Amino acid sequence: MADQLSILPAGQVIPTALHLEVQQSYLEYAMSVIVGRALPDVRDGLKPVHRRILYAMHELGLTPDRPYRKCARVVGDVLGKYHPHGDQSVYDALVRMVQDFSSRYPLLEGHGNFGSVDDDPPAAMRYTETRLASVGNEGLLNEIGEATVDFTGNFDNSQQEPIVLPAQLPFLLLNGCSGIAVGMATNIPPHNLGEVVDGLIALIDRPDLPDADLFRLIPAPDFPTGGEILSLEGVQDAYRTGRGSVPVRGVATLEEVTGRGRQRRMAIVITELPFQVNKASWIEKIADLTNQGRIEGIVDIRDESDRDGMRVVIELKRDVQPAVVLNTLYKITPLQSNFGVIMLAIVNGQPRQLPLRELLQTFLDFREETLTRQYSNELEKAEGRAHILEGQLLALENLDRVIHILRNAPDGTTAKMQMKEDLEFSDRQADSILSMPLRRLTGLERQNLQTEFEEISQRMEDLHSLLDNRKELLKSLKKICDRSNVNTPTRAAPGF
């Protein structure tokens, strides 16, 4: 081995202890997985693959008012431009953003078979179609641009992609997130939009709002598959510390149904299951436990679920107490389970476990930053346009002098210099006057210029007020939150 190494030029071999090399390499790998794959960003609530899918669809113009496009086309764009990994992993991420039983507010709309709560697999990407949902388009991409968020080069620097999307709502709380990184994991439950917006507005109005008041506004998660939360103790532990256990139970009722042989029997009817419980596997487990004799009193199990909702009928024997069977189902099947909350996300490039208040406040700080950047860019454009309009209006007031200069100037450059000297125009104003069509000289066009100038001047005053007064900026932020709350459908939070 020493003889083989000695043939290398001097200075190219660096002796390194094996344990130090492995330690450094594994640390780099771990950070790559934590930051670049498994954990969401606290600002827009997205992992890199989800962010790249949404941005690629935005570039393709797949807005809610446009036709659906094949998922294979979307996956191809994401792989070729931004995410050079396996196509199946990208498609799986896309599918989850379509499924209404996986996301509280799906960011994409789908056309075709995207799987079911029974864990049926989706159809191949060449058969399914997708486009942006309204909440995803308006809530994440409506303000996209270098004026609001920073962009960076993709894997080969041939494209630019956003580091974060300008989210108008805290999607990390609304849709939740789960992921397993190296040495850490995240498991954030979904929440109700109306409750989260109420909490945000309360924090804007009262930054020192007591935790008890905040927890009354956001009392508990709101799972897309429903279910009942049995205790608030685990929820409040999670909200205070960023970690807790939430007991969730399916919704069951007792009904008298027509069973085998057209006999009337009592039955337990399940209409909601805990989040992430596979209905088909749960039914199969009940059947196995019944055959093993661990659950007694069940005659038949029927899945009567349809497009209108879930309905699983568990038919009972005549001499059985339904409450006993139901308690057994709660005890030894996933009809009652614990949702382990770990509110872990990327904050300033580092993974952090966040209490509810800190998570909301971090989002508000980000939202304030994006609004400031957006309004500053709008103000800069408005000032530029007002400068041009001011020059054109001044030219119309001195129309005879402008015509005289144009008539006697040998060329455009001379005319431009003469106008700058005589009428004190800037370069941009002089250029706009030289390119102004003759129709601008009509009375109606003059009035249009004056009206536009007045409207832009008023907008500039409003923007200065927003940027110079933080209270006005926060009022604008509150209005946007309220508007988002009105435009997005919600349902009531699960009962207790």
The per-residue pLDDT for 401 is: 86
Of 135, 166, 197, at which residue does a domain stop?
166
pLDDT band at 488 (very low <50, low <70, confident <90, very high): low
Q: Are residues 59 and 158 in the same domain?
A: yes
CB crowding 181-216: b at 16 or more within 10 Å, else e:
beebebbbbbbbbbbbbbbbbbbbeeeeeeeeebbe
Q: How many Å apart are CA 235 and CA 168, to the nearest integer?
A: 25
Look up residue 98 and give its two tokens. 């379509």
Contact at 8 Å (CB) between 205 and 364? Answer: no
| Radius of gyration over every alpha carbon of the chain, rounded to an integer in angstroms | 31
Share of the chain above pLDDT 70, in %: 93
The CATH number of the domain holding residue 54 is 3.90.199.10
- Displacement of CA 36 from its chain's centroid (Å): 17
The per-residue pLDDT for 491 is: 43
Render 156-189 in DSSP notation, one character per residue.
Answer: TSSSEEESS---SS-HHHHT-EEEE-SS-EEEE-
Q: Are residues 388 and 438 in the same domain?
A: yes
Q: Are residues 50 and 153 in the same domain?
A: yes
Q: How many Å apart are CA 355 and CA 344, to the nearest integer?
A: 9
Higher-pLDDT residue of 20 and 336 is 336
Q: Are residues 141 and 55 in the same domain?
A: yes
Q: Are residues 58 and 160 in the same domain?
A: yes
The per-residue pLDDT for 14 is: 80
Look up residue 163 and give its two tokens. 């580091």
The CATH number of the domain holding residue 452 is 1.10.268.10
Q: Are residues 324 and 378 in the same domain?
A: no
Summary mean pLDDT of the chain: 88
The per-residue pLDDT for 449 is: 86
Helical segments of 206-266, H only: 211-217, 233-241
Amino acid identity, position 222 = D
One of 82, 127, 330, 375 is an active-site residue; which one?
127
Residue 200 has pLDDT above 60, yes or no: yes
Q: Are residues 418 and 314 in the same domain?
A: no
Q: Catalytic residue at 82?
A: no
* Burial of residue 434 (number of CB atoms within 10 Å: 0-12, 13-18, 19+): middle
Dihedral sign (CA 327, 331, 334, 338): positive
The per-residue pLDDT for 495 is: 35
Q: Are residues 377 and 299 in the same domain?
A: no
Question: Is the pTM higher than 0.85?
Answer: yes
Q: How many Å apart are CA 335 and CA 227, to the nearest integer?
A: 9
Of 316, 334, 352, at which residue does a domain stop?
334
Q: What is the pLDDT of residues 298-327, one digit of tens each?
A: 999 999 988 888 999 999 988 889 999 999
Residue 10 has pLDDT above 60, yes or no: no
Question: Can you give the residue range of the structural domain that contains 70?
Answer: 46-166
The set of residues, in sequence order, having a beta carbon less than 8 Å from that of 338 and lying 6+ positions away, is 234, 245, 246, 247, 248
Q: What is the pLDDT of residues 237-274, one digit of tens each?
A: 999 999 999 999 999 999 888 766 667 888 999 999 99
Amino acid identity, position 385 = R
155: closest CA among 72, 44, 78, 43?
A: 78
Judge whether 211 lies within some domain. no
Tell me phi and psi for residue 298, to 5 degrees.
-100, 130
Judge whether 174 lies within some domain. no
Q: Are residues 431 and 324 in the same domain?
A: no
Q: How many Å apart are CA 201 and CA 185, to the nearest integer?
A: 30
The CATH number of the domain holding residue 275 is 3.30.1360.40
Look up residue 484 and give its two tokens. 């988002």
Judge whether 433 lies within some domain. yes
Q: What is the pLDDT of residues 100-155, one digit of tens each?
A: 999 999 999 999 999 998 889 999 999 999 999 999 999 999 989 888 999 999 99
Tell me phi and psi for residue 375, to 5 degrees.
-70, -35
The per-residue pLDDT for 68 is: 96
Judge whether 1 lies within some domain. no
Look up residue 46 and give its two tokens. 């997205």
Geometric angle at alpha carbon 40, from 38 and 43, rounded to 5°: 165
Of 145, 166, 187, at which residue does a domain stop?
166
Q: Are residues 330 and 283 in the same domain?
A: yes
Contact at 8 Å (CB) between 96 and 224? Answer: no
Alpha carbon separation from 486 to 65, 84, 97, 197, 302 (Å, rounded)? 20, 38, 22, 10, 39
Amino acid identity, position 99 = Q
Look up residue 160 and give its two tokens. 């630019």
Q: How far apart are the first and last CA of the chain?
A: 70
Judge whether 496 lies within some domain. no
Judge whether 399 lies within some domain. yes
The set of residues, in sequence order, having a beta carbon less than 8 Å from that of 173 and lying 6+ positions away, is 45, 188, 190, 191, 196, 359, 360
Q: Are residues 305 and 416 in the same domain?
A: no
Q: How many Å apart are CA 304 and CA 449, to the nearest integer?
A: 66
Amino acid identity, position 64 = P
Judge whether 277 lies within some domain. yes
Look up residue 41 and give its two tokens. 């960003």
Domain count, the chain: 3
Q: Are residues 76 and 162 in the same domain?
A: yes
* Burial of residue 125 (number of CB atoms within 10 Å: 0-12, 13-18, 19+): buried
Judge whether 217 lies within some domain. no
